[in-house]
């Protein structure tokens, strides 16, 4: 629909969808985009902080974390992949490679974290 005024529920859900509501991607992974932004342990910096060129990427430290669009917010984490609130009129970051900055103490319904289960 048109964020934030109209949710058409075209996907069958008003907000977040239960895990595995949609088919997995080509790698067998579920929910890689669109349910909630994934809060990561990485600290945010503009660009990727050199991580894209490293065999052992560590990214910036907490003290080096900075987003010039949010200068008063201090150290921020990386969030990835977009959420159910993304719409064509509002959010152009609705894709697996999307990344934004977010305070680690956020309490919003469109930011979460990922758990991985490895079947033996």
pLDDT digits (tens, 9 = 90+) for 65-114: 889 999 988 889 988 888 878 777 777 666 777 788 998 887 888 888 87
How far is 54 from 93, CA to CA, in rounded Å? Answer: 24
pLDDT, average across residues 2-22: 85
Give yes or no for residue 115 having a pLDDT over 70.
yes
Residue with the two structure tokens 């309490």 = 107
Give yes or no for residue 28 having a pLDDT over 60.
yes
Q: Which helix (H) or strand (E) holds 63?
A: none
Question: Token pair of 117, please?
Answer: 């289960």
pLDDT, average across residues 25-43: 86
Domain count, the chain: 1
**Residue 18 resides in a domain:** no
Residue 51, domain extent:
1-8+34-104
Who has greater pLDDT, 119 or 29?
Answer: 29
């Amino acid at each position: 629909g048109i964020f934030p005024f109209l949710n058409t529920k075209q996907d069958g859900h008003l907000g977040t969808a239960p895990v595995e509501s949609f088919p997995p991607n080509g790698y067998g992974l579920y929910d890689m985009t669109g349910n909630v932004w994934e809060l990561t342990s990485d600290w945010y910096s503009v660009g990727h902080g050199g991580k894209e060129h490293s065999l052992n990427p560590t990214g910036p430290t907490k003290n080096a974390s900075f987003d010039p669009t949010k200068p008063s917010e201090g150290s921020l984490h990386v969030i990835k992949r977009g959420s159910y609130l993304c719409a064509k009129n509002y959010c152009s970051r609705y894709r697996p490679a999307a990344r934004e900055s977010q305070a680690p103490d956020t309490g919003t319904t469109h930011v979460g974290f990922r758990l991985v289960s490895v079947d033996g």
